[in-house]
Chains A and B, each alone.
Chain A
Amino acid sequence: MRYFIEPGYVSLNKKGEELCGDRVETIYHDGTMTTVLADGMGSGVKANILSTLTSKIISTIMASGLSIQDCVETVAQTLPICKVRQVAYSTFTILQIGVTGDAYMVQFDNPLCVLLRNGKHYDYPVEVNVVDGKTIYETRMKVELGDVFVMFSDGVPHAGIGITMNLGWQQENVIKQLEEQYSPDDSAKSTAAKLADVANALYLGEPGDDTTVAVMKVREKQTVSIMFGPPSNSEDDIPVTKKFMETDGIKIVSGGTTSKIVSRYLGKEVRTCLDYIDPKIPPYGMMDGVDLVSEGVLTLGHVMEMSNMIVSQNNTDLSWLQKKDGASIIAKYLFEYATDVNFFVGRAMNPAHQNPNLPLDLSIKLKIVEVLSKNLELMGKRVNVEYH
């Protein structure tokens, strides 16, 4: 079986800092997803430089297949030395998971990564090694479908120190929280956001340290396809619809004319409902054979705005998951459910949209697809866009 490895992270800056001293790098190379979480010494600019160098060096070296010894040596020789403490220092956790399920993890001085298997804390094998005078924990294992690896900087177990708790949150309580908040449908990003949000609450909204959660989730491929707009040449209506209908997984039809084309092809009626949950977002509809029908540019415009919010590294707002309007439902399919997204974008002009007073013209539609697909890629999803 080939797995899909989904990364997602959230970083909260220490109160008053513009830059985060924690850094997460994710790269996909040759069938392996690598995530590096580095926490630079101190905070602010200096910590940011240390952790950026560390994570960049490690992700680049590891992705090209060199050993952990090479990594540690390179990092040690490259990092600038802190004048105050006379050392160059950044902690790091490296997690690599291949599509075939082989995982390799290296941990140095970060709180230990928590693995959730079937929603429960799972003790993974650890080998202790000393490299260059540094104690390194190494793990080699096979992952299982649904495994969730949660890495975090010490800002998480330290949450609330001296504010809400004498000793801070502490590792075992972090594990308890992860088990309690677990839902099998949560994406990597939502898992990270939920945990970071609790940590933030323990800090009373003013983190005393940079606080980062990075998650890798082992999933199977789940495809969502969106047909958005009618083809510019109406002779292509049927072939494009046929291709769209032949995709696996969830199918969303977005746009009035587009829904008519698909309705005609399938011989099924669109059933709309009148409920305006949010006056800004047109109501959605249903049709046998597809999973959702929506209005086009306005609804997907909202989805695009939501994607901008979600990819920002310090977002912990998950309230959109509870909303029932068309844009939020599409967002859930795209951001939470999908590992693979196909856009079938039609470039026909709608004469009614060529009105300069309406924000509907073709260039806006193309812009929405461009931004949305870029953001989906940032979320670690595989995106395929075809124009007709």
Chain B
Amino acid sequence: MEIYICVGSSCHLKGSYNIIHTFQELINQYDLKDKVELKASFCLGRCTDGVATKINGEFVDHVSPENAVAVFHEHVLKPLGME
């Protein structure tokens, strides 16, 4: 599974750094290094709906440092059957 997190200007200001950090921790915590690849992207073309992410081929918008854990559970752990 690939996860792209936008680090373009407006997404960066909306908290990309913290989201990447949270996702990295969760990947370690659930030991998903072999299953999940986390990548940065400069622009996912969805600047007004930031922070924009693309998880497993699907756009997931409005991710924030506050809901990052919930998004990870819903869009990463669930599809992997780990929830």
Of the candidates A256, A274, A358, A359, which one forms a contact with B39 in the assembled complex, judged by CB atoms under 8 Å apart? A274
Q: A273, B8: Cβ atoms under 8 Å?
A: no
User: In chain A, what residue has the closest Cβ to B43?
Assistant: A256
Known contacts: A298-B13, A355-B10, A360-B9. The answer to whether A283 contacts B47 by CB under 8 A is no
Task: State the Cβ distance, B75 to closest chain A Cβ, in Å.
Answer: 18
Interface size class on chain A is 20 to 34
Docked pose: A355 CA to B6 CA in angstroms: 18
Q: A272, B40: Cβ atoms under 8 Å?
A: yes
A259: Cβ under 8 A from any B Cβ:
yes
Q: A297, B48: Cβ atoms under 8 Å?
A: no
Of the candidates A279, A285, A352, A359, which one forms a contact with B47 in the assembled complex, judged by CB atoms under 8 Å apart? A352
Q: B17, A256: Cβ atoms under 8 Å?
A: no
Docked pose: A359 CA to B24 CA in angstroms: 28
Using a CB-CB cutoff of 8 Å, which residues 4-45 of chain B contact chain A?
6-10, 12-13, 16-17, 20, 24, 38-43, 45
Task: State the Cβ distance, A116 to closest chain B Cβ, in Å.
Answer: 42
Q: A351, B47: Cβ atoms under 8 Å?
A: yes
Docked pose: A255 CA to B45 CA in angstroms: 12
Q: B41, A272: Cβ atoms under 8 Å?
A: yes
Q: B40, A256: Cβ atoms under 8 Å?
A: no
Contacts of B38 in A (CB 8 A): 274
Contacts of A259 in B (CB 8 A): 42-43
User: In chain B, what residue has the closest Cβ to A294?
Assistant: B42
Which of B7, B39, B42 has the most C-beta atoms of chain A within 10 angstroms of its own C-beta? B42
Contacts of B47 in A (CB 8 A): 256, 350-353
Known contacts: A272-B7, A352-B48. The answer to whether A283 contacts B40 by CB under 8 A is yes
Q: B8, A295: Cβ atoms under 8 Å?
A: yes
Docked pose: A48 CA to B15 CA in angstroms: 49
Q: B8, A256: Cβ atoms under 8 Å?
A: yes
Q: A272, B13: Cβ atoms under 8 Å?
A: no
Task: State the Cβ distance, B57 to closest chain A Cβ, in Å.
Answer: 16
Of the candidates A270, A272, A274, A295, which one forms a contact with B9 in the assembled complex, judged by CB atoms under 8 Å apart? A295
User: In chain B, what residue has the closest Cβ to A353?
Assistant: B10
A218: Cβ under 8 A from any B Cβ:
no
Known contacts: A282-B16, A358-B13, A360-B9. The answer to whether A295 contacts B50 by CB under 8 A is no
Q: B12, A270: Cβ atoms under 8 Å?
A: no
Known contacts: A257-B43, A273-B40. The answer to whether A353 contacts B9 by CB under 8 A is yes
Docked pose: A297 CA to B43 CA in angstroms: 13
Of the candidates B7, B9, B24, which one forms a contact with A283 in the assembled complex, judged by CB atoms under 8 Å apart? B7
Q: A256, B6: Cβ atoms under 8 Å?
A: yes
Docked pose: A351 CA to B8 CA in angstroms: 13
Q: B9, A298: Cβ atoms under 8 Å?
A: yes
Q: A352, B42: Cβ atoms under 8 Å?
A: no
Using a CB-CB cutoff of 8 Å, which residues 277-301 of chain A contact chain B?
279, 282-283, 285, 293, 295-298
Question: What are 11 A-B interface contacts by the 8 Å CB criterion?
Answer: A256-B9, A270-B42, A272-B39, A272-B42, A274-B40, A282-B7, A282-B9, A283-B40, A285-B40, A350-B9, A352-B10
Listed from nearest, the 9 A-B pairs whose CB atoms lie closest are: A256-B43, A352-B47, A256-B8, A272-B40, A256-B42, A352-B48, A282-B12, A282-B7, A352-B10
